[in-house]
Amino acid sequence: MNIELLLALVTGAALFGVGIYGALSQTNLVMIMMGVELILAAAMVNLVAFWRYLHPDAAAAQMFVLIVMTVMAIEMAVGFGVAIARFRAKGSVEMEEAAELKG
Amino acid sequence: MTTALVLLLLAAGAYLVAVLEAWTASGRFRLAAPVVAGIALLGRESIVPRKPDRIFFEVAPVLLLLSALLAAAVVPLTPDLIITDLATGALFINAALVYVLVALLMAGWGPNGAYAMIGGWRFLGQLIAYAMLIVMPITAVVMRAESLLTTQIVASQASLWNIIYQPLGFVLFFVAAMALAFLPPFDLPTAKGELAGGVEAEYGGVRLAVFRLGRLALIITLAAATVVFYLGGWQGPWLPPWAWSAIKILAVTATMLLAGHAMPRIREADLLGWCWKLGIPLALLNIFIVGILVLALP
Amino acid sequence: MSAQAFFIGFFGLASVWFGVVVFRTHSMMRSALALLFSQTALGALFLSMQAEFLGVLQIMMMATEMSIMAIFMVMFMMDPGGLGEMDMTHQKRLSLAAGFVAFAAAVAAAVFVDWGPVASVAPDAAQQTHDLGVELLGRSMLIFETAGITILTAMIAATAVAMPPVKRIRNK
């Protein structure tokens, strides 16, 4: 077992845990998005670690990281669009007050 | 050794920028003025406002200086005089200069003052306007050089400087660089007259001195980057490379300072509108033209 | 322990610490900038794993993204400066448990899976950038273009959702 790979994967795991905690525990949409960003960041760490220590010659692994970055940007754009629409309609983006969206 | 030399040159450059800035603003050329102003600033009391966000307040001026220095680390002044020749140099300049925004946001939020905060958020809007106009012209430059190495970019201009090869890109980059360094007419975050200094308003003494020094280092770094990307870097006949670099950088700095001097300050909404509706299509056109040129003239 | 391991550990620790600070501070500005520094530390982590292009790109992209995050936080939170010390969390115990279980599961996977032989050298930075470019505009072009179209669609959709509803006046 390679110590560098292990350290990087543990970093990814810790970020993933923190992100899950944030996404579940926060009541505000923007804070939930921060949790999701951390989860995606954890995915990126793992991808880079796998590229570096398992497949350093596969450029496709680096491309996956670019895709994850794109996903992050899309998540921000759509999330903020929804946040603005919600804020305009109801005056807050608190998730406790959005129970009517449950359907 | 190289690092120390580059830092020394940057300090000298920042000093000359201060002299030039005072000259363009007041019309008087005084070599000693920055020393006097600096000593006066250092002697003054450095006030901390009530209920500040202390971390941001202290870190912001240092971060501004640091981001300018980091960007300067990949700018070659002569073939050998470069701190680190990163394989992603042209991208790294962007990455370092984005932290100017972070520093200004911190400086805006930290002191707990209305003018400062408005100045900080204004710069965020300004970034959304100019950011693409920094990145896209650099893309066209990199396309011609076929490398992200800054030394390689200079070498690619041996036959023809980029200012003639892609004049459109040069104009866009020049304007965007002025907006990045918040020089007039883009000095929205520090607007003297309407925001009473904006992000600088609550700073005084040593902290203000560091802030101003960071701003000067930012201007000289951007001028050096313009020279590297568009004016052929150290290349030129008769004179040694370092002399050409120095002459070009000072000329670009003086042009930047003089260009905006007579213009009225631009409105935030106008800046965003022009940059997105006019600037970005032009930048894409520039990339397209350069692409054709690269393919047609090997 | 190699220098690389030291730097990976250091930047990993920094990024996790800043990630925790995001949810521990009351000030929204600090929260957003803590996330920014968490991501910047990750960029440095990529650099210490010799993924130079990705590291620099991460450092560049996240600064803009998280600054925009900061202004939305200040706009939409009821207590942006954190001076009112409002509690903005719910189901705390469940979330802590879920976060911890996720962490433990991921660590277990990292430790117990046999990762096979580990490569000791990576291609140098210029080679990587070249390979990545060739990959993006060659074999993976469709994926990359799809990502581009998706982000354009997301931009338009987000703008459309965010625009205020316009009352249309019918002419005749």
pLDDT for res C81:
67
Residue C119: partners with Cβ closer than 8 Å, 6 or more residues away: A52, A53, A54, A55, A56
Cα–Cα distance, B91 to B74 (Å, whole number)? 10
Q: Do the two chains C and B touch, given a threshold of 8 Å on CB pairs and at least 3 pairs?
A: yes
Which pLDDT belongs to residue C43? 92
Q: What is the mean pLDDT of residues C84-111?
A: 82
Question: How far does the CA of residue B274 sit from the closest CA of chain C (Å)?
Answer: 19
Query: pLDDT value at position C30?
Result: 86
Is pLDDT of C172 > 60? no
| CB contact set of C73 (below 8 Å; sequence gap of 6+) | A30, A31, C28, C29, C31, C32, C80
- Do the interacting molecules here have an ipTM over 0.90? no
Residue C91 reports pLDDT greater than 90: no
**Is A24 close to C95, i.e. CB distance below 8 A?**
yes
Determine A/C contact with 3+ CB pairs under 8 A as the test. Answer: yes
Residue from A2, A7, A16, A78 to probe the interface with C (highest C Cβ count within 10 Å): A7
List alpha helices for B27-160, DSSP H: 33-43, 54-72, 89-109, 114-145, 150-155
Q: What is the mean pLDDT of each run of 10 residues along chain B (298 residues)?
A: 79 80 76 78 77 84 90 84 82 90 88 85 89 90 87 85 87 90 83 77 81 88 90 82 85 85 83 90 92 85
Measured CA to CA, the distance from residue B180 to residue B197 in angstroms comes to 17
Asked if C47 and C34 count as a contact pair (C-beta separation under 8 A), the reply is no
Which residues, 6 or more positions from A71, have their beta carbon under 8 angstroms from its beta carbon? A40
Cα B207 → chain centroid: 20
CB pairs under 8 A between B and C: 63
Q: Is pLDDT above 80 for C171? A: no
Token pair for C35: 């996330």
DSSP B245-274: HHHHHHHHHHHHHHHTTTSPPPPHHHHHHH
Mean pLDDT of chain C: 85
What is the tens place of the pLDDT at every residue in C25-70? 888 888 888 999 999 999 999 988 888 888 999 998 888 888 888 8
> Residue C82: its pLDDT value, please?
67
CA distance B274 to B130: 10
Give the Cα separation of C65 and C151 in Å (integer). 14
* Cβ of residue C126 closer than 8 Å to a chain A Cβ: no
CB pairs under 8 A between A and C: 240
d(CA B66, CA B102): 12
Q: Please give the residue that has the higher pLDDT: either B192 or C73.
A: C73
Judged on CB neighbours under 10 Å (0-12, 13-18, 19+), B185 is: middle
- pLDDT higher than 80, residue C166: no
C138 contact partners, CB below 8 Å, separation of at least 6: none
Query: Is the distance from CB of C12 to CB of C38 less than 8 angstroms?
Result: no
pLDDT at C123 over 80: yes
In angstroms, the separation between the Cα of residue B94 and the nearest Cα of chain C is 7
Interface of C with A in 8-67 (CB under 8 A): 8-9, 12-13, 15-16, 19-20, 22-23, 31-32, 35, 38-39, 42, 45-46, 49-51, 53-54, 57-58, 61, 65
pLDDT, residue C17, reads: 92
Question: Cα(A69)–Cα(B295) distance, rounded to whole angstroms?
Answer: 31
Give pTM, 2 decimals.
0.88
What pLDDT score was predicted for residue C99? 87
Name the stretches of chain A with pLDDT < 70. 1, 103
Higher pLDDT, C107 or C165: C107
Find the residue in C nearest to A8 (Cα). Answer: C8
- Is B98–C60 a contact, with Cβ atoms under 8 angstroms apart? yes
